Amino acid sequence: MGRYWLLPGLFLSLPLVTGWSTSNCLVTEGSRLPLISRYFTFCQHSKLSFLAACLSVSNLTQTLEVVPRAVEGLCLSGTVSTLLPDAFSAFPGLKVLALNLHLTQLLPGALRGLGQLQSLSFFTFPLGKPLFLPPDAFSDLISLQRLHISGPCLDKKAGIHLPPSVQWLGVTLSCIQDMGELAGMFPDLVQGSSSRVSWTLQKLDLSLNWRLKMASPGSLQGLQVEVLDLTRTPLEAVSVKGLGLQKLDVLYAQTATAELAAEAVAHFELQGLIVKESKIGSISQEALASCRSLKTLGLSSTGLTKLPPGFLTAMPRLQRLDLAENQLQSTVLCMNKTGDVSGLTTLDLSGNGLHILPPAAFSCLPHLRELLLRNNQLLSLEGHLFQDLQQLETLKLDGNPLLHLGKSWLAALPELTTLSLLHTQIPLSPEPGFWGAKSLRTLSLSLPSLLAPLPAPAVLSLPMYLTSLELHVASGTTHWMLSPRIFPSLETLTINGRGLKLKLGSQNASDVFPALQKLFLLNNSLEAFCSQGTSNLFLWQLPKLQSLRVWGAGSSSRPCLITGLPRLQELKLESLQSITQPRSVQLEELVGDLPQLQALLLSSTGLQSLSASAFQHLHSLQVLVLDQEKDLLLQDSLREYSPQMPRYIYILESNLTCQCANAWMEPWVKQSTKTYIYIRGNRLCPEVSLPAWGSLTSFLWDHCPQTLELKLFLASFALVLVLIALPLLQEARNSWIPYLQALFRIWLQGLRGKGDEGKRFLFDVFVSHCRQDQGWVIEELLPALEGFLPAGLGLRLCLPERDFEPGKDVVDNVVDSMMSSRTTLCVLSGQALCNPRCHLELRLVTSLLLAAPCPPVLLLVFLEPISRHQLPGYHRLARLLRRGDYCLWPEEEERKSGFWTWLRSRLG
Could you write out the DSSP letters of every residue in 713-759? HHHHHHHHHHHHHHHHHHHIIIIIHHHHHHHHHHHHHHHHTTT-TTP
Angle at 94 between CA 91 and CA 97, to 5 degrees: 110
| Beta-bridge partners for 217 | none
pLDDT at 672 over 70: no
Quote the CA–CA distance of 367 and 319 in Å, as a whole number: 9
106, 134 contact by CB (below 8 A): yes
Q: Which of 90, 96, 93 is nearest to 76 (CA)?
A: 96
> Would you tell me how many other CB atoms lie within 10 Å of the CB of residue 261?
27
pLDDT in tens, 850-888: 665 566 788 888 888 887 777 776 656 666 667 678 888
pLDDT at residue 281, rounded to an integer: 75
Query: What would the mean pLDDT of 760-788 be, rounded to a whole number?
Result: 85
What mean pLDDT, rounded, does the chain reach? 82
Of residues 805 and 788, more confidence is placed in 805
pLDDT at residue 478, rounded to an integer: 67
* Cα 630 versus chain centre, distance: 28
pLDDT in tens, 427-438: 877 676 678 788
Q: How many CA atoms lie within 13 A of 171 on its CB side?
A: 21
Q: What is the dihedral of CA 680, 684, 685, 686, to 10 degrees?
A: -20
Q: DSSP label at 778?
A: I
pLDDT at residue 272, rounded to an integer: 95
DSSP for 523-550 reads S--SGGGB-SSSS-BB----TT--EEEE
pLDDT at residue 11, rounded to an integer: 34
pLDDT tier at 16, thresholds 50, 70, 90:
very low
**Quick check: bond before 126 cis, omega within 30?**
yes
pLDDT at residue 756, rounded to an integer: 46
Provide the H-helix boundaries in 354-447.
none
Q: What is the dihedral of CA 829, 831, 833, 836, to 10 degrees?
A: -140
Of residues 228 and 65, more confidence is placed in 228
pLDDT at residue 741, rounded to an integer: 62
Q: Which of 263-277, 581-595, 866-880 has the lowest mean pLDDT?
A: 866-880
Q: DSSP label at 562?
A: B
pLDDT at residue 488, rounded to an integer: 92
Q: 82-83 and 73-78 as β-strands: parallel, antiparallel, unpaired? A: unpaired
pLDDT at 131 over 80: yes
Instruction: Decide: pTM greater than 0.75.
Output: no
> Would you tell me how many other CB atoms lie within 10 Å of the CB of residue 524?
23
Strands of 607-610's sheet in order across: 585-586, 607-610, 633-634
444, 421 contact by CB (below 8 A): yes
pLDDT at 172 over 80: yes
pLDDT at residue 296, rounded to an integer: 96
Q: What residues have CB less than 8 Å from 790, skipping those under 6 apart? A: none
HEC readout, 118-163: CEEEEECCCCCCEEECCCCCCCCCCCCCEEEEECCEECCCCCCCCC
pLDDT at 1 over 80: no
pLDDT in tens, 514-532: 999 999 998 877 777 887 7
pLDDT tier at 10, thresholds 50, 70, 90:
very low
DSSP for 764-777 reads EEEEE--GGGHHHI
What percent of the chain clears pLDDT 90, i.e. is strictly above it?
Answer: 33
Q: How many CA atoms lie within 13 A of 466 on its CB side?
A: 28
pLDDT at 7 over 50: no
Most confident of 135-149, 631-645, 800-814, 882-896: 135-149
Q: In this structure, which long-range contacts are made by residues 629-632, counting pairs with CB atoms below 8 Å and at least 24 apart in sequence?
A: 629/602, 629/603, 629/604, 629/605, 629/654, 630/654, 630/655, 631/655, 631/656, 631/657, 632/607, 632/608, 632/656, 632/657
362, 391 contact by CB (below 8 A): no
Quote the CA–CA distance of 845 and 856 in Å, as a whole number: 8
29, 47 contact by CB (below 8 A): no
Q: Which of 800, 806, 798, 815 is nearest to 742 (CA)?
A: 815
Element (H, E) at 880: helix 874-880
Total number of residues shown for the chain: 908
pLDDT at residue 22, rounded to an integer: 42
143, 165 contact by CB (below 8 A): yes
pLDDT at residue 99, rounded to an integer: 94
Q: Which of 607-611, 777-781, 834-838 has the lowest mean pLDDT?
A: 834-838
Of residues 870 and 447, more confidence is placed in 447
pLDDT in tens, 635-654: 877 777 777 788 888 888 87
Quote the CA–CA distance of 494 and 442 in Å, as a whole number: 11
pLDDT at 700 over 60: no
Q: Which of 77, 3, 67 is nearest to 38 (CA)?
A: 77
Query: What would the mean pLDDT of 313-317 be, rounded to a whole number?
Result: 91
Q: Which of 537, 552, 544 is nearest to 519 (CA)?
A: 544
Q: Which of 61, 70, 81 is nearest to 30 (CA)?
A: 70
pLDDT at 193 over 60: no
pLDDT at residue 17, rounded to an integer: 33
pLDDT at residue 873, rounded to an integer: 67
- Cα 318 to Cα 262, 268, 295, 368: the distances in Å are 15, 16, 4, 11
pLDDT in tens, 279-308: 887 888 888 888 999 999 999 998 888 888
Q: DSSP label at 856?
A: P
pLDDT at 745 over 70: no
pLDDT at residue 24, rounded to an integer: 76
